[in-house]
Amino acid sequence: MTPPIALTVAGSDSGGGAGIQADLKVFAALRVYGTSVVTAATAQNTRGVQDVYPLPGNVVSAQLNSLLDDLPPAATKTGMLATAEVGAAVLAKARAGLLPNLVVDPVLSSSSGRRLGVVGAIERLLPYALVATPNREEASALVGWPVTTPADMAGAAGQLAAGGPKFVVVTGGDMVAGDEAVDAVWTEAGTRFLRYPRILTHNTHGTGCTFSAAIAARLALGDSVLDALAFGKQYVARALAGARDWKLGGGTGPLDH
């Protein structure tokens, strides 16, 4: 059977663990046909991001035009939007209604501290998102106050949902305390928490990209949003567990797809 198309609009991670490379691995694992619009090249390995080279806005538009003309996506995820120009190129297509089932992963910086995305580009795109998947740090930057506890996460999810996305998941997998990973999910019917046993590993690079890509893949396959979110959470847990003892590189290693 012909698979549905899922599109990733994201940065390239030369190390293969995050960004476009992670997204395409998820799409392949979940049996959707993956297409990709590269927004930036990063020079990167498991130790961190050494350099970032955003592509010009017209190069991003050209890639989008090629795909929308011939390979229209059933679902799209956005990751790293490195400049306002890149953000505007994506926004134009979202505004035109060409990016259905849009999952916005508001990538702002790498866990090693390098700036990857611009807040303004994400804020302008959020009204067109079906789902947004900020982690606590990204949620803090978007709402303007520190998001630390699960109650904060729920509050931030509600605040962000007021700006457009029907579903907002604030992920808390980075929390150091507790033996559970907790995410807060805002839906029109109220807030709920997704919980999963914490998987202890230093190989966590690309977790956020993987989560949002899995959600987009399952939306492309026709899942309801809540089913896609629950699936995304399970997919990340399995990918973390699979790579728990891997030794790839000297830093934060990738996940097992």
Which residues of this protein are in contact with ligand PLP, per CB under 6 A? 10-11, 13, 18-19, 42, 44, 79-80, 107, 110-112, 116, 205-206, 208-209
Asked if 194 contacts 185 with a C-beta cutoff of 8 angstroms, the reply is: yes
Q: Measured from the CB of residue 172, what is the shortest distance to ligand PLP in angstroms?
A: 14
From CA 53, how far away is CA 44, in angstroms rounded? 11
From CA 62, how far away is CA 100, in angstroms rounded? 19
Strand partners, 34: 6
Strand partners, 102: 76
Q: Measured from the CB of residue 97, what is the shortest distance to ligand PLP in angstroms?
A: 25
Strand partners, 103: 77, 131
Q: Measured from the CB of residue 150, what is the shortest distance to ligand PLP in angstroms?
A: 21
Closer to ligand PLP by Cβ: residue 142 or 155: 142
Closer to ligand PLP by Cβ: residue 23 or 85: 23
From CA 217, how far away is CA 125, in angstroms rounded? 20
Closer to ligand PLP by Cβ: residue 99 or 191: 99
From CA 228, how far away is CA 230, in angstroms rounded? 6
113 phi/psi in degrees, rounded to 5: 100, 0
Q: Measured from the CB of residue 44, what is the shortest distance to ligand PLP in angstroms?
A: 6
Closer to ligand PLP by Cβ: residue 59 or 226: 59
Please identify the residue of the shown chain whose CB is closest to the bound ligand PLP: 19
CB burial class (10 A; 0-12, 13-18, 19+) of residue 115? exposed
Closer to ligand PLP by Cβ: residue 21 or 101: 21
Q: Measured from the CB of residue 116, what is the shortest distance to ligand PLP in angstroms?
A: 6
